[in-house]
Amino acid sequence: MANKLTLTFKGALDPIKAKLTGKTAPCKKIESEYVLETENLGITFGGLKAVQGVNLKIKKNEIYGLIGPNGAGKTTVFNLLTGVYIPTEGTFYLEGEELKGLAQDKINHKGIARTFQNIRLFNNMTVVRNVMVGLQNQPEYKCTLFESLFRLPRHFKVEKEMRKRAKELLEIFGLLEERNALACNLPYGKQRKLEIARALATNPRLLLLDEPAAGMNPNETADLMDTIRLIRDKFDMTVLLIEHDLKFVSGLCDRITVLNFGTALTEGTAQDALNHPDVIKAYIGN
Amino acid sequence: MNFITNLIGGLSLGGIYAMIALGYTMVYGIAKMLNFAHGDIIMVGGYTILVFTAQSVHPLIAIALAIVFCVGLGVVVERVAYKPLRGASPLAVLITAIGVSYLLQSLAQMFFGSGTKMVTGLDLGSFNIGSLKISVSTIVTLLSCIAVMVALNLFVKYTKTGRAMIAVSEDKGAAQLMGINVNLIIMITFAIGSALAALAGTFYLMRSPSIYSTFGSLPGIKAFSAAVIGGIGSIPGAMLGGILLGVVEVFANSVSAIAPYTDAIEFAILIIILLVKPTGFLGKKRREKV
């Protein structure tokens, strides 16, 4: 009898235990050849199915595009993947590890970092400190509060290494000159780049870029395409991006998925997907 | 000569207000809420000292215990009362804070009665410089306040936790997506605020050693005004506002004609400053983006 009870209630207290200890149960793992794999991912707000049945399979070192008309649910997918929303249906795996239900900071630690559609930098911090905020949760830069309160040598060592790493990142993005400027005083294009640098500082395996080219002029856009390719090669990165600029998408992305009304219309190489009759219909009608 | 005594007294009282105001302003800056129970943490600290000094524990140890107890209380209050309301409307959080404030006051009345009790053992005496009589506690208060403020500034500027605090205060969502544990940062903020409140309570008791259940209300509300005057959310602002109010209070008290109106004068200053500069001295201007 007792055995039966324990069987029935096994796991019932896990969420509470996890809350108390701050630890989560080890994540479910599956065999997966993909960096990101989503399985019927979806979320319902009240009665509204905002995103439904999205299956993305993104290979390592791919630059993958997520496109679709306004309100198609692209940013919602990003919010699901970063833990801002918890999926009501389906789940997703990062290199075979299920991350559904983890808090935003935990998902970031697992290796997904993002930028925002409307820039969200720490405006009143200097450029270099913005990047350091991204860096400081990396295990190699760990130092305890005690160590930094009492200014032990490790504190200085870690700070120095972080500053060095931050400068390296800023150099890649051509922001080294402005490292001591306040983030809010940077021109728009550079703010976008700084956001990418800050996201990369958290050492992700998958980088999510939400409309990285929005508001950029053609020169800046071309420059950004090179930068994203550089990130892929230099950081061995996999990139998932949302973009409206179809030239940008077809020039940069290996494969794309087209979303409309929260569901995937089609997926494939940029050329194939953009010429798909359903996609043309979604964008310009019959 | 009187002027110098008043100035020292004012700066030291201002330091106390500044320490309390720091608690208000840091919690506001980071958790975006007004913690109206903050003043009552001072009261709890005071009673803790009373309990331990009555057991003839050394005052310094009693003070340390009071700080530890208040930190624990602050963290528990945050976890139990405020954390479940994260994301709720600011009004719900505000009324909860007021509720916590009354709860703490009522608990204090339950345990210690509603009368005034005297705390002994905190009087450090006084000394004379020429004809100037200065109490040791004033100097101790002043020096401790300066030390605390310098330490806090260094903490926020140069530690990772401090940097994370600024990041959270700027954009909670973005900070969390950059891997910062926002709940932990808010907890640390409450812990620091409560420790400062306990310390401020100690210094307040050194000035006048009587304690009662609403002991923390008036200094709490004055420190809140100080935080608003300085610009709520701004750490240097809280220091500036606190010192301004403290100096004004001591000087107003020393002139017998206006002494009865001291509190009124202080709050009038708050109103005037808000009329001229609605964000306070160092408050951030909120720009509307179009």
Based on the domain organization, do A192 and A243 belong to the same domain? no
Tell me the average pLDDT across B2-16. 91
Based on the domain organization, do A247 and A189 belong to the same domain? no
- The pTM assigned to this predicted structure is 0.82
| Domain final residue, candidates A139, A174, A203 | A203
> Sorting pLDDT into bands at 50, 70 and 90, what band is A15?
low
The domain of A278 spans 27-111+204-286
Based on the domain organization, do A78 and A220 belong to the same domain? yes
Based on the domain organization, do A128 and A190 belong to the same domain? yes
- Other residues' Cβ atoms within 10 Å of the Cβ of residue A54: 27
> Sorting pLDDT into bands at 50, 70 and 90, what band is A6?
very low
What pLDDT is attached to residue B92?
94
Residue B14 near residue B247 (C-beta atoms within 8 A): yes
Based on the domain organization, do A210 and A267 belong to the same domain? yes
Q: pLDDT tens for residues B250-276?
A: 999 998 899 999 999 999 999 999 999
Q: Which of B178, B285, B287 to mutate to test the interface with A (most CBs of A within 10 A)?
A: B178
Chain B residues in contact with A84 (beta carbon < 8 A) = 173, 177
- Structural domain spans, chain B: 2-215
Does an H or E element contain A268, and which? Answer: strand A263-268
Structure tokens at A53: 């049945």
* B174 contact partners, CB below 8 Å, separation of at least 6: A116, A120, A121, A122, B167
Beta strands in chain B (DSSP E): 117-118, 126-129, 132-135, 210-211
Based on the domain organization, do A190 and A71 belong to the same domain? no
Residue A239 near residue A207 (C-beta atoms within 8 A): yes
Tell me the average pLDDT across A27-54. 87
Checking if the pLDDT of B18 tops 90, the result is: yes
Q: pLDDT tens for residues B99-137?
A: 999 999 999 999 999 899 998 878 777 888 877 888 888
Based on the domain organization, do A88 and A210 belong to the same domain? yes
Residue A31 inside a domain? The answer is: yes
The residues with which A182 forms a beta bridge, in sequence order, are: A126
Q: Which of A24, A122, A125, A155 to mutate to test the interface with B (most CBs of B within 10 A)?
A: A122
Cα dihedral B52, B53, B54, B56, rounded to 10, equals 100
Tell me the average pLDDT across B242-255. 94
| Range in A10-24, A190-204, B34-48, B228-242 the model is least confident about | A10-24
ipTM, two decimals, is 0.72
Under an 8 Å CB criterion, which residues of A touch B?
82, 84, 103-105, 108-109, 113-114, 116, 120-125, 129, 132-134, 136-137, 143, 145, 148-149, 155, 159, 198-199, 201-202
Based on the domain organization, do A131 and A191 belong to the same domain? yes
Q: State the CATH number of the domain containing residue A36.
A: 3.40.50.300
